[in-house]
Structure 1
């Protein structure tokens, strides 16, 4: 039978933002409930080597980091629920959420930390070589390709920014774009065209990511010309798919303000347009999208929610 759960705080999402919010909220005595969603642990669970999360001198594994964060949250009093929310009512407090199995969740506050997913090309070879030379985050993985040959796939701001960032690590960068012009902002294009270490392959699409070696890793890409159909091959040690991100905000369309699909929060805070509803991590961050920034936002959301409840409790007491 469907169950009903109530808490002073419901957290949607169990990546760095959601679990950090859970840790701070639990330590404040709010007994938060974390609804983990369809990808418990978030994007770090599909990331292998993590070298830029503070506190670890050696490379750590993404799944291990998320297991430790969850264990810490549970240790201080957070409750994990393995459920997927399909409906949400933000019209009044407590906010009401409904899981796909019929379970209902009521929260005096809500922290939305549903994250965002990198867009992929959808190739089988791309999936097979993820973490083995194929990545969707140059800031996360670019360091591993110092002095190596890399390619970036895409033509928008994301692709141009990734290529420019990679110049910190590689002297041989090629952008592969399926059209004959970029969609990126002109100032970014000017910087790109002026850089001597970046080459551009126009009107090319990736047909296959080619693996090799033992252990297997990316060794090149098979391309096809989008105009002539001519096939070609380029060797590469690393490939970064940079065709954008899609925030998980489907539940909040027409319920909360969105900017290019990302939840809008008050500048310098985690507060959304609805009092008591907060957003943290990649679901509201179109710029940085790092585990450490998501964790910081999760902390902000918990502190903002704690202050909100304290003020609401005081007003209720005065009114009574």
Structure 2
């Protein structure tokens, strides 16, 4: 590739927000490239089933929905580069996106890089990653067939992980540091009615232990202080998300969690730079709202370019 490639719009991130933004900008005949560091789809592609996306009366697999979105966007001309973004340089009229495979230049950028799983930060989590410690039940579920496993967390992500892994595991413990769940009522009912799933309330995981693979968890009841050991063959961490915004520090306004602050037009405090989806402050982290953010960002990016 040459030193830099010129586009009308650069989209960073290939989840539902980025793919929808690409669909809208390319349909508007804007030369668009979508840059994604790994596989397109983001966390949407990891979902075993999505049953609340409009238009699908039956649930759809997240990977399948990703493919449909990707094919629709590329049909209208979106280019795709698999590369990691390391920095954005704002030159005013043009912005330069620096990646591991070269530079891209455009007047408008839509940041839709999503988020990654938050870590517990306990002993054994890093050391046993990939050897019983997992952050994706859809990816790793079959490896835990007929095993006893634990899921840590109490939100939608944790309960989705638990209901999926119960297809494979013989027993699933959900460990939650509170005595109530943040997940939606539908998911709570689904989880509580699963005979393989059992809840452990008011409990923190203090350590993940094992020789070559996960063998047990060290637990502590946060109310009584009682410590215990839970034998498991695997543990799935689902305790929240962290926005992928390290490369944006000093460029755009972010909140205390590292999410990008926008207005209702998805504009950041830097003209020509927009944010959409999970990476945006106050996102409700749903596929449908990410898609809506992407469409909004694309429409206002188009207006910005036209005015320039």
What TM-score comes out, normalization by structure 1 length? 0.71
Q: Which of 205, 228, 231 is residue 229 of structure 2 equivalent to?
A: 231
CA distance in 1, matches of 2:204, 2:13: 39
Task: Tell me the equivalent position of 2:183.
Answer: 162
Report the RMSD for the aligned CA atoms in angstroms: 3.7
CA distance in 2, matches of 1:19, 1:290: 14
Distance 1:168 1:13, change over 3 A: same
Q: Any unmatched runs of 5+ in structure 1?
A: 174-196, 210-220, 313-320
> Does structure 2 retain, via aligned residues, the 8 Å contact 1:33–1:79?
yes
Q: Which of 252, 259, 264 is residue 262 of structure 1 equivalent to?
A: 259
Aligned length: 272
CA distance in 1, matches of 2:236, 2:134: 13
104-113 or 82-91: which moved more? 82-91
Distance 1:154 1:67, change over 3 A: farther
Say whether 1:250 aligns with 2:257.
no
Distance 1:295 1:228, change over 3 A: same
Task: Tell me the equivalent position of 1:277.
Answer: 273
How many angstroms does 1:80 deviate by? 1.1
Deviation string, structure 1 residues 105-161 (Cα, Å, up to 9, x no partner) = 111111000111122444532428713485978536857859x986244569xx852
How many angstroms does 1:200 deviate by? 2.2
Task: Tell me the equivalent position of 1:202.
Answer: 203
2:268 counterpart SS class: coil
Equivalences for 1:119-198 in 2 at 5 Å?
A: 119-121=118-120, 122=125, 123=129, 124-127=131-134, 130-131=137-138, 132=141, 138-139=155-156, 142=159, 145=163, 151-154=174-177, 160-162=181-183, 166-171=187-192
CA distance in 2, matches of 1:172, 1:270: 40
Distance 1:66 1:172, change over 3 A: closer
Say whether 1:50 aligns with 2:46.
no
What TM-score comes out, normalization by structure 2 length? 0.74
Task: Tell me the equivalent position of 1:301.
Answer: 297
> Does structure 1 retain, via aligned residues, the 8 Å contact 2:206–2:217?
yes
Deviation string, structure 1 residues 49-97 (Cα, Å, up to 9, x no partner) = 2222222222322222212211111101111122222121024221011
283-292 or 118-127: which moved more? 118-127
> Does structure 1 retain, via aligned residues, the 8 Å contact 2:176–2:203?
no
How many angstroms does 1:285 deviate by? 4.3
2:265 counterpart SS class: coil
Which of structures 1 and 2 has the bigger CA Rg?
A: 1
